[in-house]
Amino acid sequence: MVVMSTVSFAQQSLFGGEQIVSPEIHDDNSVTFRLNAPSAKEVKLAGEWMPAEGWTPGAVTMRKGDNGIWSFTTEPLEPELFSCSFIIDGFRTTDPNNPFIVRDVASVMNIFIISGKHADLYKVNDVPHGTVARRWYDSQTLGKRRRLTVYTPPGYENSSEKYPVLYLLHGAGGDEEAWITLGRTAQIMDNLIAQGKANPIIVVMPNGNVIQDAAPGEGTDGFYKPQFMIPKTMDGTYEASFPDIMKFVENNYRVKANKENRAIAGLSMGGFHSLHISRYYPNMFDYVGLFSAAILPNQDVSHKVYHKFDETLKTQMENGFELYWIGMGKTDFLYESGKQYCAKLDRMGMKYTYRESEGGHVWRNWRIYLSEFAPMLFK
């Protein structure tokens, strides 16, 4: 007999595995970060829990130990999903001991979760889990196959029931991966449904960049460096082609295909898209969510989607709806434009729910908004 002992597999050196744990979350929710970089002159830890300077996350200098391992222990942190990175002699990089990373546009950063409160919704808990599928649909309007992400709730596959649908749209620089990775949509929905706080619903996360067929690296353009603002994202093309997505969903899933059972929401640029899609097709959605929305179009853009703004918004109001929800952070750079949009709605007499949160234009808020918005749907 040939004997394969497990020793044969002890190939950790293959994977460059250092025997360091980082981050280490302590019982009091303080966190120790460690990095083996003996020849570095200065190592900083950047993280979302520290005050940011503009768009740059706060950072703190780590201390070098005699063993060449740099370390830093935070104060106890509040429950949250945090991103972080290291800056080694000015070079920003991820933690080689923390393989949990997310991409945002062209940047990759580590993440970790401090348990408790709202952050427990972001964890995979021992509850029934929905299915997350990456599927492709034919966009007849755009003339190509395009990819989208679909969350179906626990039990969907073993029932003959029809479900309501939330269309959940990403921001500039995002794609069909954004809400499912940084947004923790599957975990939030699984947990809210298990707690009886949200109805079981289908969540469709399309790609709002019409020049892409899929997220960078997932489509026919192959691997390339993603850019923050790409053409044709806010020029009306996406909004006009949105019925292709709805048609696909309504033909391919057991959905309640009526206004009472359709919601649309999005963050930043996705809030802009949600506003315009729900207004341009003014009898389609009973639930609209604008999360830190970029409210109004560039005046240079002349697509017919943006014509007759006031008229179509009035039609949307008159057609009736259940919820028009606006969430905005107090320090968001879009705060004032959000306020002005609310004032416009006030003048029209259009009802809406306004939710002001701490903080700015960040995922932390968008996860919270989704966690609050989903329980209000289809009740």
Cβ neighbours of residue 351 closer than 8 Å, sequence gap 6 or more: 317, 324, 345
- What 3-state class would DSSP assign to 326? strand
Question: Cβ 286 to a second copy, closest distance in Å?
Answer: 26
Given 29, 49, 79, 136, the residue binding a second copy (CB under 8 A): 136
CB 186 within 8 A of CB 151: yes
Question: φ and ψ at 120, to 5 degrees?
Answer: -65, -25
**In this complex, which beta carbon is closest to a second copy, that of residue 39 or of residue 160?**
39
Tokens of 309: 């703004």
| Per-residue interface string for the shown chain with a second copy, residues 231-270, x marking contact by CB under 8 A | ---x-----------------x----------------x-
Residue in 125, 269, 135 with CA at minimum distance from that of residue 206:
135
**In this complex, which beta carbon is closest to a second copy, that of residue 222 or of residue 320?**
222
Task: Please name the helix (run of DSSP H) or strand (run of DSSP E) that holds residue 363, with its range, or none.
Answer: helix 363-373
Residue 29 touches a second copy, criterion: CB under 8 A: no
**In this complex, which beta carbon is closest to a second copy, that of residue 272 or of residue 287?**
272
Tokens of 23: 């981050």
Given 9, 66, 143, 320, the residue binding a second copy (CB under 8 A): 9
| Per-residue interface string for the shown chain with a second copy, residues 281-320, x marking contact by CB under 8 A | -------------xxxxxxx--------------------
Residue 106 touches a second copy, criterion: CB under 8 A: yes
Residue in 87, 121, 128, 93 with CA at minimum distance from that of residue 107:
93
Question: Cβ 105 to a second copy, closest distance in Å?
Answer: 5
**In this complex, which beta carbon is closest to a second copy, that of residue 40 or of residue 257?**
40
In 214-350, which residue ranges form alpha helices assigned H by DSSP?
237-252, 269-280, 309-319, 335-348
* Number of residues written out for the chain: 379
Output the CA torsion sign for 367, 369, 370, 372.
Answer: positive
| Per-residue interface string for the shown chain with a second copy, residues 57-86, x marking contact by CB under 8 A | ------------------------------
Residue 160 touches a second copy, criterion: CB under 8 A: no
Q: Which amino acid is at 157?
A: E
Interface with a second copy in residues 200-229 (CB under 8 A): 214, 216-220, 222-223, 225-226, 228-229
# of chain residues touching a second copy (CB under 8 A): 94
**In this complex, which beta carbon is closest to a second copy, that of residue 345 or of residue 376?**
345
Given 158, 160, 320, 379, the residue binding a second copy (CB under 8 A): 158
- Note the Cα 229 to chain centre separation in Å: 17
